[in-house]
A and B are shown apart, each in its own frame.
Chain A
Amino acid sequence: MSTDTATLPVGRYAYDQVDRTFLSQRVAQFREQVGRRVAGDLSEDEFKPLRLMNGLYLQLHAYMLRVAVPYGMMGADQMRELAHIARTYDRDYGHFTTRQNIQFNWIRLEDTPDILERLAGVNMHAIQTSGNCIRNVTCDEFAGAAADELLDPRIHAEILRQWSTLHPEFSFLPRKFKIAISGSPHDRVAARFHDIGLVAHPGPDGRPVFDVFVGGGLGRTPIIGVHLRDNLPEEDLLAYLEAVVRVYNAYGRRDNMYKARIKILVQALGVEQFREKVDAEFAQMNRADYRLEPAIVEGIRARFGIPDLDAPADAARKLEADRKADARFDRWVRTNTHTHRHEGFISAVVSIKPDGGIPGDVTADQMDLIADLADEFSFGEIRVTHMQNVVLGHVRKDRLRDLWRRLEGAGLGTPNIGLVGDIIACPGLDYCALANARSIPIAQKLSARFANPELQENIGTLRINISGCINACGHHHAGHIGILGVDKRGEEFFQLTLGGSAENDVAIGQIIGPALPEDETVDAIARLIDTYLVLRNEGEAFIDTYRRLGAASFKDAVYAPA
């Protein structure tokens, strides 16, 4: 099949007929399984694993469908289909998650085969969004655009997607398995909090190589991934990862679900012994079967559409003038954009965290608008981020102000990226069947309290992450301020952790004391932030002050209110 580059979707992989046939067969199979369940031919115990294989959970209020967005990339056509699903089959909204997926919270079992069919129509699906398999591979939201990028990680993310999808050996691992890949020296994917984290860069001869981290994770036992090896050659990428997952599949614990993740195995064996086992497996494999020849990689790369980056010579100057003319726009550019590799372009971050809003929630109309804006301003390409925001990757600088105006008009122009309002929150007890406490209301109260953009900018970089239970879907351990919901006799309490980070300065937050009742939590965090404002040195962000002074200075603020 020839690839006509002019018609390829920008920024994502173009499915071929084989991919499409496979998806429609899967939908037909699930339709039949639903039919058998409804007819009573399958019991719930028999049916549950089948629905989970299609991303369908039973949550607190209804079924929840988790749709994969491979490495966070999608097209305007796909976003419009998600809007249609939200409008037709849900309650007019969807929810972006920290794993670059979208979840729908009010789905009917009866409708699910139709929804999956509609998704398949735009080359999307919910396969491997649940279960003990290799989940959606996540990637840098500025991939292929960032000025600091060394290698576009999407090509290898797509190769890993193809390798891991329905991998016969890895469909029943001891536990779920998550891989993240970055192509920038600045870790924007939380590589060290994944089962496998890959950092790609060019090797000595210019060919891609990978630094490999393994056994990181959050959840009940938060662990920072250990460094397994450097400079893994591209041609051995699949063989080596296959060896890692094989060792895990062979030795990972299956007797205790809470000790089943690869992080427990790596800790139990020690990194030396784990590495030896991987190396032994790697040495005896028939590596030729897995070899990623440059031609294969180029074949994958050729199925990605490339944006035609052509900007007028004065685009950057026009943006400077626009910023001078409008202080509010200038603020948004400061907080919500990222430097592009092309001087005439910029990446724009659309905050899905309006003041007092629900982090990650988007209405059907907003999805349609984002799709339209992607078509008009960014080659029809959209990224969802692990911070629950949306990125338009390639916006011409001279058109940025037009984009901002349109976003503002739809409540999508909040200038808070990286600031206190940009809170990660899992669905918590409002939706999640596993939760101990609500996450969303805390996020709403905090972002409303710190809504003033000048105050937010003054406070500076601050990552607040909230999870409704120990599973840590909201990455609380990785927050500068982490908030964990706990249950005490049916009532909600919140435990605070300080000092976590998922970036290059990776750290697990430390618990600072007993959990607080719901109605005291937001005030305690406000006092914590006030304390930092008093104690900070010139130029320090919250995390710097915390690291300089330690927890003690902050403990008093939390537990001994004036």
Chain B
Amino acid sequence: MDVRNNRRDMTGASVITANRLLDGRIVWLAPQGWSEAISQARVFDNAAVEDAIRQARAADANTVVGIYGVQLDPDATHITPLTVRERIRAFGPSVHPDFAPVETSHVH
């Protein structure tokens, strides 16, 4: 996998992401399963995230693809990735605000 996808600091926090197999949409690992909204994502301390990624890969290889961790911006008030790339994944293409992921309240 692309190194950029794994670029994380030793300290700080991360969330875990993937693409859903059936429709390719971006999902975030939430306390119960995968959510389309990053706001629902479970936040891991970077010391614990590698284990969580391994577990998710073992459990969900047939429902999601490309599981990896995303470093969060420590200064942001909401859950916000540190890099432009991951912010675009989380909040939609910057050139089509109408395509932003819809906040869904349920987690599936």
Contact = CB atoms under 8 A, between A and B. Distances in A.
Partners in one complex: yes
Interface of A: 37-38, 40, 43-44, 58-63, 91, 106-110, 358, 429-431, 433-435, 437-438, 440-441, 444, 487, 490-492
A434 to B, nearest CB: 8
Given A37-B21, A61-B24, A106-B99, 5 more contacts: A60-B85, A61-B89, A91-B99, A440-B95, A490-B85
19 contacts: A44-B61, A44-B65, A59-B24, A60-B85, A60-B89, A61-B92, A62-B26, A63-B23, A63-B24, A108-B22, A429-B84, A429-B85, A431-B93, A434-B2, A435-B85, A440-B95, A487-B4, A487-B85, A492-B84
A326 B21 CA distance: 54
A310 B100 CA distance: 50
A62 B84 contact: no
B22 A110 contact: yes
A61 B82 contact: no
Contact of B83 (A40, A44, A440, A490): A490
B107 interface: no
Interface string B12-40: 00000001011111100000000000000
Nearest to B5: A433
B42 to A, nearest CB: 21
Given A62-B24, A108-B24, A110-B23, A358 B89 contact: no
Contacts of A58: 19, 24, 65-66
B28 to A, nearest CB: 13
A438 B66 CA distance: 22
Contacts of B25: 61-62
A431 B82 CA distance: 18
B62 interface: yes
Nearest to A37: B21
Contacts of B4: 487
B61 A107 contact: no
B7 interface: yes
Nearest to B64: A44
B47 interface: no
Interface in B38-53: none
Given A358-B95, A429-B88, A441-B94, A61 B26 contact: yes
Nearest to B63: A40
Contacts of B24: 58-59, 61-63, 107-109
Contacts of B66: 58
Q: Which one of B7, B25, B66, B84 has the highest number of Cβ atoms from chain A below 10 Å of its Cβ?
A: B84
Contact of B94 (A37, A44, A430, A487): A430
Contacts of B65: 44, 58
Overall SS of chain B's interface: loop
Nearest to B101: A61
A82 B21 CA distance: 24
Contacts of B88: 60, 429-430, 438
Nearest to A108: B23
Nearest to A430: B93
Contacts of B26: 60-62
A291 B92 CA distance: 53
Contacts of A44: 21, 61, 65
4 A-B pairs with the lowest CB-CB distances in the bound complex, closest first: A490-B83, A62-B24, A63-B24, A430-B93
A429 B83 CA distance: 11
Nearest to B89: A60
Nearest to A61: B26
Interface in B90-105: 92-96, 99
A468 to B, nearest CB: 10
Contacts of A358: 95
A440 B97 CA distance: 13
A182 to B, nearest CB: 33
A490 B7 contact: yes
Nearest to A440: B95
B21 A38 contact: yes
Q: Which of B7, B24, B61 counts the most chain A CB atoms within 10 A?
A: B24
A441 B94 CA distance: 8
Contacts of A491: 83-84
Contacts of A440: 95
A62 B93 contact: no
B8 to A, nearest CB: 11
Contacts of A60: 26, 85, 88-89, 93
A549 B23 CA distance: 53
A437 B84 contact: yes
Contacts of B19: 58, 62
B46 to A, nearest CB: 15
Nearest to A444: B95
A482 to B, nearest CB: 21
A108 B19 CA distance: 11
Contacts of B92: 61
Contact of B23 (A59, A91, A109, A490): A109
Contact of B93 (A40, A61, A433, A437): A61
